[in-house]
Chains A and B, each alone.
Chain A
């Protein structure tokens, strides 16, 4: 089931990640990072093809992805380090072009969750999905983590 992931992402090894959902064509990494499991998010030119927040330009640039997450309440932060009470996302770009490729969202335990294209969701260490396909995590953003139900 996960052999293709081990082949595509050499830093992933059995035991350091886990699959958390089956493959699904209805949402992608950006949607998953944003908390959406029904829509494919990407800044294509044609709005009939993909969803993209209206507050962000439909451009394949890191700034456009930053603006998309800013529209969800995220602001740029310095690092991937876990900060209690904050939820972080990491934006990846390829090398050497700096074109956005992927986003991951940090879990309360400090690990990260990614939807891999239209393949599975996985829980992983952030840098374990870096490489020739996604490039490198280059921008981090955070917002206050929603309180558990019953707390205010």
Chain B
């Protein structure tokens, strides 16, 4: 798996909120995968995996992002929830996939 040659401090500041931790990890992940096309390489990055590991509390923030614009959180949510509202015919259409997840979130009662 190709990981871009960038190094970062992994030290987390104390008392991070969930959103602060999400954005810190997201920034590292995006900087180190932004020129990759392989979804397995993009989502296999340690920071993306750490976001997935944040679990239920971060899901509303991911859904909020998806409502704003298409995002690769559509590749995290199936792992986090065990569900997938995306139809096979929509695979790769990040915009439609994002819309499907926002709809799913509302139906599940998430608020963001």
A binding-site residues for B, Cβ under 8 Å: 4-5, 8-9, 23, 25-26, 28-30, 38-42, 44, 46-52, 60, 94, 101-102, 115-119, 132-133
Contacts and interface: CB of A to CB of B under 8 A. Distances in A.
A48 B78 CA distance: 10
Contacts, number: 86
Most buried by B among A42, A102, A116: A42
Contact of A49 (B33, B70, B91): B91
A26 B95 CA distance: 7
A26 B94 contact: yes
A102 B34 contact: no
B39 A42 contact: yes
B38 interface: yes
B2 A47 contact: no
Interface string B84-112: 10111011111101000000000000000
19 contacts: A4-B31, A8-B4, A39-B94, A40-B39, A40-B93, A41-B92, A42-B38, A42-B92, A48-B97, A49-B75, A49-B92, A60-B38, A101-B2, A116-B34, A117-B33, A117-B34, A132-B2, A133-B4, A133-B35
